[in-house]
Amino acid sequence: MLTFLRRRALTSLLPLLAVVLGVFVLARLTGNPAALYLPENATAEAREQFSAANGFDKPIWAQLIDYFAGVARLDFGTSLRTGEDAATMALRAFPATLQLAVVTMVLAIAVAIVVGCWAALRPNGLADRVSGMLSMTAASVPDFWLAILGIWVFAIILGVLPTSGVDAGGASWVLPIAVLMVRPAGVLTQVVRGAMISALGSPYVKVARAKGASEGRVVARHALKNAAPPALTVAGDLAVGLINGAVVVESIFGWPGIGKLMIDAILQRDFAVLQAAVALTAISIFVLNIAIDIGYALLDARVRNKAGAAA
Amino acid sequence: MTDIGMKVDGLTVDLHTPRGTVRAVDGVSFTAHRGRTLALLGESGCGKSMTAQAVVGLLEPIAEVTGGSIDIDGEDLLTVSRKRRRQLAGPALSIVFQDALTALNPVVKVGVQLAEPYRIHRKMSAKAARAEAIELMRHVGIPEPESRADSYPHQFSGGMRQRLLIAMAVALSPKVLIADEPTTALDVTVQAQILALLARLRKEHDMAVILITHDLSVVAEEADTVAVMYSGRIVETGPVDQVFEDPRHPYTRGLLESVPVDAERGADLSSIPGSPPDLFSIPPGCPYQARCPLVMDVCRTSRPALVKTGDRAVACHAASASGSEGVSHAA
């Protein structure tokens, strides 16, 4: 197991470096921060001073070396906007995103298991067709549109939920989670349904029924455990999408997470913060992928043995 | 005659396909006696596996039992409640499938799978059921059952997996055990061991074994009675030694002649020309008419009934018209 983790961490290092490099390059393509931070009528001297103070006057390769030297010490520099340490800002925003993502995924998975199993028990039955239509719709609706619709209906017309922010306690969570979970719930319902139909049609389910197992036992003890790996794969992808996609929904709902931090950093050419936020997001996605691989091994002994044999 | 384990009468199964409804099993009747083996013999597609699935109540959704009765101890499996049927699944009736790799749940420890019959039907604790499962594994010849109980199916060989599957099926000493091609996926030496195990368990538990197979040598060695199926019907039945010695249906004879006995190297092997009729286009009259060397005019219009003579029965116009000797001669 430890060998496996070490190998995964090492193989993750290269793509991680690519991401860190990519964000550096892309951020520089957005333009010179001096143009944004200084008044329009600032003198050339002032501009040069600003650039020199923040290291933007050095050649790009020198900036890159500085940058990587900093990254190696987990120092992403300081925010142009607040003067605060960029990494600290990213780490402070991260829990809000993580909480949102975890609650959303747990709820989406719960919905998908219940609805997907229900639909799979009688393929093409009424439950299957209704849930199929709903989940396809859910999987296809853009979340930014849904977010605006949600705010309009629940915050403006009905006035039962806050439009944005986190000040209203539990009520603040309702709309962001509802909006974020629609797509994962829809997609996962389809995946669980498909995997369950295939599991329920398999010989080992017939054998379980031949042993006199009740329908509940067949679903819970035999089919679901076999349907889990494909669902886990997709759930992992969706969770990654959730962390990335939080940018949009967090901006709409004013959620103080990493997504909002990133957008703000881009808009203000706050390179250090953007780089720290992207690097943190990338690391969390690599960690998530490793967690999914561990999940596979826990679910299926065949994967476990293969990993053990290869290690 | 020994105790009756199960009596199937006029079992009929229809398949509702997108192309229309076809009859896959057509009025099949047989009796399985405790302590004996009845073989259902036939080519693939003849309805033998469909019959087995109908008996254990595990038909695919497109298949529907449209007639007949399946009687175990005075209870008709086709009319009892679903709950009662589940109660009978295991203690009264059990099945061993062909492919043990897919029939065992890949992600559940074998000890847990083998303990399940005890958990479900005897409401045993997990610990007590596990002890029974280990005992069961030992009984069917799995070495080191205590440690192997925590292994997963893929960690066993094909033969061992089939032993596990059989152990699970006989856990509650069922009155009737259906073995659906239990050795088809195995190599010949393992095949013999599995058949010997089945025979031993049959005697120990006094089970009626229904052996579904296309393998004539398995029938010859293991079965007491044989029912030959063709196009969803039983065309000939009787004690194995008599049927094999003196086959009365031209299909049975064709099957027996296709076994290479004393064949010389390089000599052509005998086979039945053609293939069984498509279920969608079964001709009126006898389904075997297109392949039959003895076909007569009556075969094309009238379906031969299964005519009983002593222990044996045959559904053939030629056999009933001229008697068994005439048929043998004509062949």
Query: Any idea how long chain B is?
Result: 331
Quickly count: other Cβ atoms within 10 Å of residue B139's Cβ.
Answer: 17
What tens digit of pLDDT does each residue of A89-123 get?
999 999 999 999 999 999 999 999 999 999 998 88
Q: What is the pLDDT of residue B331?
A: 35
Q: What is the pLDDT of residue B321?
A: 62
Residues of B with CB under 8 A from a CB of A: 56-58, 60-61, 86-91, 94-95, 97, 99, 102-108, 116-117, 120-121, 152, 154-155, 165, 168-169
Pairing of the two strands B208-213 and B176-180: parallel
What tens digit of pLDDT does each residue of A1-45 get?
677 778 878 888 888 888 888 888 887 777 777 777 777 777 888
Pairing of the two strands B75-76 and B63-72: antiparallel
Where would I find the beta strands (DSSP E) of A114-190?
none
Size of interface A-B (CB pairs under 8 A): 77
Record: contact A212-B97, CB cut-off 8 A: no
CATH number corresponding to A90-310: 1.10.3720.10
- Given a cut of 60, whether residue A311 has pLDDT beyond it is no
The values of phi and psi at residue B120, to 5°, are -75, -50
Mean pLDDT, range A133-161, rounded to an integer? 89
Quickly count: other Cβ atoms within 10 Å of residue A62's Cβ.
Answer: 11
- Given a cut of 50, whether residue B272 has pLDDT beyond it is yes
Q: What percent of chain B has pLDDT over 70?
A: 95
- Given a cut of 50, whether residue B252 has pLDDT beyond it is yes
Mean pLDDT of chain B: 90
The set of residues, in sequence order, having a beta carbon less than 8 Å from that of A162 and lying 6+ positions away, is: A155, A168, A171, A172, A175
Which whole-number Å values give the CA distances from A108 to A115, A179, A296, B79, in the listed order?
10, 11, 19, 42
Helix axes A224-253, A143-150, angle to 10 degrees: 60
d(CA B187, CA A232): 37
Q: For an interface test with B, give the residue of A121, A211, A225, A296 to mutate (most B CBs within 10 A).
A: A211
What tens digit of pLDDT does each residue of A215-251 get?
999 999 999 999 998 899 899 989 988 887 778 888 8
- Given a cut of 50, whether residue B326 has pLDDT beyond it is no
Coil, helix or strand at residue A230: helix
Residue B324's pLDDT band (cuts 50, 70, 90): very low
Chain B residues with CB inside 8 Å of A201's CB? 60
- Given a cut of 80, whether residue B197 has pLDDT beyond it is yes
Q: What is the pLDDT of residue B276?
A: 85
Mean pLDDT, range A208-219, rounded to an integer? 92
Q: For an interface test with A, give the residue of B105, B110, B165 to mutate (most A CBs within 10 A).
A: B105
Chain A residues with CB inside 8 Å of B61's CB? 123
What tens digit of pLDDT does each residue of A171-205 get?
888 899 999 999 999 999 999 999 999 999 899 99
A23-37, A111-125, B38-52, B135-149: least confidently modelled range: A23-37
Domain limits, chain A: 31-73, 90-310
Q: Which of A204, A214, A299 sits opposite B105 (nearest CB)?
A: A204
- Given a cut of 70, whether residue B277 has pLDDT beyond it is yes
In this structure, which long-range contacts are made by residues A298-303, counting pairs with CB atoms below 8 Å and at least 24 apart in sequence? A299/A225, A299/A228, A299/A229, A299/A232, A299/B107, A300/A229, A300/B106, A300/B107, A301/B107, A301/B152, A301/B154, A301/B155, A302/B106, A302/B152, A302/B154
A132-149 burial code (b ≥16 CB/10 A, e <16): beebeebbeeebeebbee
Chain B residues with CB inside 8 Å of A213's CB? 86, 116, 120
- Cβ–Cβ under 8 Å, residues B190 and B197: no
Pairing of the two strands B233-239 and B225-230: antiparallel
- Cβ–Cβ under 8 Å, residues A102 and A176: no
d(CA A150, CA A144): 10
- Given a cut of 80, whether residue B158 has pLDDT beyond it is yes
d(CA B166, CA B137): 10
d(CA B300, CA B298): 5
d(CA B56, CA B69): 12
Mean pLDDT, range A295-304, rounded to an integer? 80
Mean pLDDT, range B241-249, rounded to an integer? 95
Sign of the dihedral through C-alpha B281, B287, B293, B297: negative
